Each structure stands twice: as structure tokens, then as C-alpha cells.
Structure 1
Amino acid sequence: MAWKQNIIEDFKQLVSFDSISFHERKTADWLFARLKSMGFSVEEDQAGSHYGGDTGNIFAVLDGELDGDPVIFCAHMDVVEPGSGKKSVLEKDGTIHSAGDTVLGADDISGILEILYGVQLVLDSGKPHKKIEILFTIGEELYVKGSDVFDYSKVTAKQAYVLDLSGAVGTAARRAPSIISVRAEIKGKAAHAGFEPENGIHAIFAAANAVSRLCMGHVDEETTFNIGTIQGGTATNIVPDCCVLTAYETPLESKSVTDFQKACEILGFSGELTGTFGGSDNNSFAKNGIEGLVLSNGMYNAHSTREYTTVDDLYKGAELIGQLILL
């Protein structure tokens, strides 16, 4: 089928775009044009202006012939570092990985394309469908910054599917923790390190001493803790900051769960429900009263130069989205 080759070529194209958080311009422009060509009404908000970025969230709507509450699909446009100069390598077994010096960007290019091609499968089938809404966000990797400032009054959907979970297609997370981010500034006292070190208070030493007493990783069954970066010396001072997003747990009886399981049953997928220790744009949906799931989109070893996906996962992800649209 032509679409199966096309999704691979589009994956390569999106990988080639530099799309670091708050610099998602090329990806956004490509998506804007693609969505318009599919018949969506498309708009871009000013989310990037909140963070000094060059791109906003992309929100698209496609009217349908059937009544009933629409569904919204979501994926993020940004990738983590090292994510500049990405190249994709397709192996004979269908594995797609980077050249080894950057991330691949399957987090979240896989999700983006599975949404687009899932919709396209429905359009090509000619089958009637309900209204479809899509949100492609910026800055997700920096604690869902784009979706946090999106105007949810634009959304009419009552259920959401966020494609942003590691693992094979057919698994979904229905619960996730709060995200709490803290930046701490340690102030010491400057002194000449060679002539009078005893008159100074070593801020980096104090910070290192504090960090060494903290428990990293899994603190308990529901909590993980991590120190991501440390800056000292001539680095710019950082004002303490805190960002909190509410935890959520989507009920088993919710339509997003039952539709997901039904679609998986039709397609022969596992339909497994799980939880995640990572936050996603679904935290923002939950905060705004929209129930949803985070779907596995076939990305593995995300946030590392060993990241990869598979052609089979891309196909299955698109088929799953298409089935969810038709339920």
C-alpha cells in the first residue's frame, strides 16, 4: 500500500528538521500545510511568545458527517537534546534508529505521523466519521509548557488520546503523577581561590553536599526524584521556580478507555492499561476537564542516542488511530 511507504518517507523528513523545544518552526510549518491539504481548518496560537520561542501550538479541526462528541488527538513537536542534525537509518528488519550521535526524535514524530495517517486512512476509506480535533504542542519536553498555556475553550472533544508513551502500540497509560519542578539557587561568598580560599563560602561544594544526601530515582512506588542539571561559577543566577500539574487517573469506565480497548480488540492488539511515571500533555487535558489516555506509539529508549522505532509500530499506530475515529 502506498501509505505505508509514504509514512516512512514522512518520518525521515520530520527527523531531518531541527525541532528543539521552543524552536519547532520547521515542523510546525510542515504540519500546518499537511493538515490544510487534508481539509482541516488550522490555527497557530501564541504559546511560543510566553517562552521566547518561535512557534505556537497547532490546533486543527475537521468536521464530520456523524453526530456525537468528537475526539481530540495530541502529540508534541519538540525533541530533546542532542536533537540537532538528526538522521534516520532504516534497517532491513524495519528498525529505524538515529546515526548514533543524536536522538532519533520518534518521541514524538511517531505520534505525529500515526495521528496524521490514522486520519488519512479514514478519509481514504470514505466512511462517515465524527468531528476530529488535533493538537500538536510545543515545549512538551520542558514540562508541558505549550499545552499548559493553550486555550482549551477551543476544544469541543470530551475525550483525548495523547500519543507519547514508550513501548509497542496497543498499550495505554490511564494515570500519571503530578509534575513538580524546582530550581534552587545556592549563594556562597566569593574569594580568591589561590590567596584566601578560607575567606570564601564555596557554593558548588555546598550544593554538591546537599545533592549527595538526596535519594534519586524511585523514592517510593509512586514517586521518582531527579536532579537534572547543576550550574555554578560564572553561570547566570537562577530565580527559584515551581511548576505543578495535577495528577490524574482516568476511570476504567470512561469512554476513552472503553473505546481504546474495543479498538485494540478489533485490531488484535493487547489493549493493556498501565500507569506512567512521566508527565505528558494529558496532564494538561486532565487539568482542563478532558478525560484521556496516553497511548504507546512505538518509541523505545527515548531521550537517548539509542532511541529507535519500528516500521511495524508506525503502521499499527496509524491503524489504531483510524479505528478510534470510527468508533
Structure 2
Amino acid sequence: MEMEHIRNTFLDLVQISSHSLHEGAVAAYCRARLEQLGFVVEEDDAGRQLGGETGNLIATLPGDPSKPCMMLAAHMDTVIPGEHVRPSVDEQGVVWSDGTTVLGADDKAGVTAILTAAAEMVNNHLPHGPLQVVFTIGEEIGLQGAKHLDRSKLKAEFGLSLDSGGALGTLVIAGPAQVKWEAIFTGKAAHAGVAPERGVSAIKMAAGGVARMPHGRVDAETTVNVGSFVGDGPTNIVPDRAQLVGEARSRSNEKLERVLADIEKAFEEAAHAAGGTVAFQATRMYDGFRFADGDPLRQRVEAALQKLGFTPAPVEGGGGSDANIYTSFGVPTMNIGIGYEDIHSVHEHIRLADIKSAAEVAVAFCTQD
């Protein structure tokens, strides 16, 4: 693998603006590169469903049918501010933006590593089974591209997602399920100056619910957060409506159900105490996963890391990624660290050497027996 090739590909990609649902130009770049290597590239209907410029790309390359089909996955979108990125490479081979935008290493470093790995396997005629590359849209807005992926096009038995921070060797062996919840508190309106005692403040009610509910890190596997508290209205009226929106995550389904019940109970107690009512609803956004020591995917990823001299460092994550969705679709997929740091900030950076190492791990993953 030539470092100059990796450098040029990565710098090309980060300079193509691709906020979520505006990934059309990056998708065209990736399609051209993959088709040059002999992949058959399909675009699914996710872009139309989500109102984006392009759908997800699913690229397939034939291989030895006696070997299992493997998937390499990354996402094409970046967070804001990610337009007009002006990258520079310092003397240590670390790539930065100019400080006014994110760099986009999350996850264009993963895209670069996959394009590099695919070229390495094709150009050097390395033995591999059937291979799929999946580049999604809308990952940064709730894994929307993966959720709308045409799963009928997935033929892989196992997947490797190159979309996590942490040093090479990091592998995410467990991740939480996420539930988004909403609570609507209803009180009674009244004139705030003439007869406030006749009113029931929905804002006060909701505040009491927040005070009673579990919040933050509940335990080692479970977190809860309130993301929005809205009780908009004029100051001379006791507000009769307030809305709370939040989330709960846990790597244990039992704990997740328990904490959601505790949240709902806290809200109902606060509403009852104030003389109002509350309507609570929860929506599961994605499932969690766990890969045990003897899991064949985990063994394969660890073997690929060890072949390149990296010591596997398993971690249990607290966030979600496309790997959650692929795994729930029946394609067990593990996310690995590829070295980017300070993501979602204007200080984001990555070493070109780490992109090269990630590409080498991807090749080892796809070519081992």
C-alpha cells in the first residue's frame, strides 16, 4: 500500500462536502473507484425515502465461493460544520482541518481505508471470498441510511465496520440498545396575575418529573438523558402544556425496560401530585449487541488485528453505529477503532499511518481462511 495513494484519496474525500443527506458527490467518487476495481455497484432507495441526494451504495465483488462472503462498511456523511474543508498534513503525518470545520475523518478515514483495502486485494490478486462494500448515508442523523438499507442486497455472513475512535486494536464487543421517549404534561391554564391558584402549571409538573426521574449514568450499562424541555407560552398565563423529550440506553434489555418504567412512574407521580396528567411514549431506535469471547466474528477480527501486530483491546461502547443495524439485520458486524480523535469538533484529526493500518486490518479480515 502506497502512503501517497492513501494521502491523496483521503484528502480528496474530506474536501468533498457531504453533510447528512447531501452525500451525492462523495457517492459518485466512491462508485467510480469501486467500479474501476470490478465491483458491481448498486444504489438503494434510501435517498428517496429520506429526501437525500443519493441512496446507500452496496458494491459486490465475486470471490472464491468456498469462502464466506465478507462486508466492509463505513458511512459517507459528516456532521456540521463540514463544508469547504481545507485539510493540511503536519510533519508527523497527522491530518487536520484549518480549524473552521470538522475534518471528516469520521468516517472518510474508514471510506479511504476500505477503498485502499479493496484495491490491495484486487490489484495483488489476493485470495478472498465474495466481498461486499457498503457505504451509507445519514449515519450522523440517527443511523438513518442503515435503517433504510435494502437488506435484501446484503449477502455477507460477517461484517467489519471501520467507524470508531480509539487506537488500532480497539474493537467494540458490545453496544447498547437505544430508546427515545417523549412525555406530554397537561395542566390547567389560568391568568398568572389574577388567579394563578386556579391553574395547574405543566412546566412545574414537568420539572418535578425531571427531579424525580433517573438521569445521567444510572449504572455501568445504562444511561438516561433529557434532550429537550419545552413549555413555550406567554408569561401571563399558567402554562397548561409542557413536553419533555429524551433517551435511554443500556447494554442490558432488562435494565432498559426497568429504567423506562422508572421514568414513566416518576412522571406519573409528579403529574398526580400537581393535579395534572402525563402521556408517555417510548420508541426503540435500535437494538444492542454483544460478541462473546468464542464468537466467530470476534475471533476473526482479533486474528486480523494480531496478524498486523496489534493487541486486541475489547471495549463495551455506549453509542450506536451502523454496526447495530447490520447485526440486527442478521449480518453480525463489529466496529473497530481506526485512530481518529476529537471527532465532531473542529479539532478532529487522524494520522495517515492509522488509515493505512486500518486498510491492512480490513485486508486481513477479508483474506484469512
**1:77–1:136 contact (8 Å) kept in structure 2:** yes
AA at the equivalent of 2:346: T
**2:206–2:244 contact (8 Å) kept in structure 1:** no
AA at the equivalent of 1:119: A
Write the distance in 2 (CA, Å) between the matches of 1:100 and 1:295.
26
Match of 2:148 in 1: 149
Distance 1:295 1:201, change over 3 A: same
Match of 2:338 in 1: 297
Following TM superposition, by how much is the alpha carbon of 1:314 offset from its aligned partner in structure 2, in angstroms? Answer: 0.7
Write the distance in 2 (CA, Å) between the matches of 1:157 and 1:206.
51
Write the distance in 1 (CA, Å) between the matches of 2:195 and 2:119.
67
Query: Could you report, residue by residue, the CA deviation over 1:24-73 in whole angstroms, capped at 9, with x for unpaired residues?
Result: 11111111111111110001111122222222110000001452211011
Write the distance in 1 (CA, Å) between the matches of 2:100 and 2:189.
38
1:320 pairs, out of 356, 361, 366, with: 361
Match of 1:43 in 2: 42
AA at the equivalent of 2:31: F
Give 3-state SS (helix, strand or coil) of 2:325's partner: helix
Match of 2:289 in 1: 248
Write the distance in 2 (CA, Å) between the matches of 1:192 and 1:86.
53
Following TM superposition, by how much is the alpha carbon of 1:180 offset from its aligned partner in structure 2, in angstroms? Answer: 1.6
Give 3-state SS (helix, strand or coil) of 1:127's partner: coil
Distance 1:192 1:27, change over 3 A: farther
Distance 1:214 1:68, change over 3 A: same
Write the distance in 2 (CA, Å) between the matches of 1:303 and 1:29.
24
Distance 1:53 1:295, change over 3 A: same
TM-score of the two chains, using structure 1 as the length reference: 0.87
AA at the equivalent of 1:115: I
Once superposed, what is the RMSD of the aligned Cα atoms? 2.8
Write the distance in 2 (CA, Å) between the matches of 1:275 and 1:108.
20
Equivalence map 1:226-305=2 (5 Å):
226-228=225-227, 242-305=283-346
**1:119–1:325 contact (8 Å) kept in structure 2:** no
Following TM superposition, by how much is the alpha carbon of 1:184 offset from its aligned partner in structure 2, in angstroms? Answer: 5.1
Structure 1: state its 5+ residue gaps: none
Match of 2:82 in 1: 83
Match of 1:176 in 2: 175
Write the distance in 2 (CA, Å) between the matches of 1:144 and 1:24.
14
Following TM superposition, by how much is the alpha carbon of 1:266 offset from its aligned partner in structure 2, in angstroms? Answer: 1.5
Match of 1:33 in 2: 32
**1:169–1:295 contact (8 Å) kept in structure 2:** yes
Following TM superposition, by how much is the alpha carbon of 1:23 offset from its aligned partner in structure 2, in angstroms? Answer: 1.6
Distance 1:301 1:64, change over 3 A: same
Match of 2:277 in 1: none
Match of 2:3 in 1: 4
Write the distance in 2 (CA, Å) between the matches of 1:190 and 1:314.
59
Following TM superposition, by how much is the alpha carbon of 1:242 offset from its aligned partner in structure 2, in angstroms? Answer: 2.8
Following TM superposition, by how much is the alpha carbon of 1:225 offset from its aligned partner in structure 2, in angstroms? Answer: 2.7
Give 3-state SS (helix, strand or coil) of 2:340's partner: strand
Match of 1:21 in 2: 20
Give 3-state SS (helix, strand or coil) of 1:316's partner: helix
Query: What is the number of residues matched between the two proteins?
Result: 323
Distance 1:4 1:232, change over 3 A: farther
TM-score of the two chains, using structure 2 as the length reference: 0.78
Distance 1:94 1:204, change over 3 A: farther
Match of 1:114 in 2: 113
1:59 aligned onto 2:62:
no
Give 3-state SS (helix, strand or coil) of 1:300's partner: coil
AA at the equivalent of 1:302: I
Write the distance in 1 (CA, Å) between the matches of 2:206 and 2:24.
37
Following TM superposition, by how much is the alpha carbon of 1:82 offset from its aligned partner in structure 2, in angstroms? Answer: 2.3
Write the distance in 2 (CA, Å) between the matches of 1:124 and 1:81.
36
**1:111–1:163 contact (8 Å) kept in structure 2:** yes
Following TM superposition, by how much is the alpha carbon of 1:188 offset from its aligned partner in structure 2, in angstroms? Answer: 8.0
**1:61–1:134 contact (8 Å) kept in structure 2:** yes
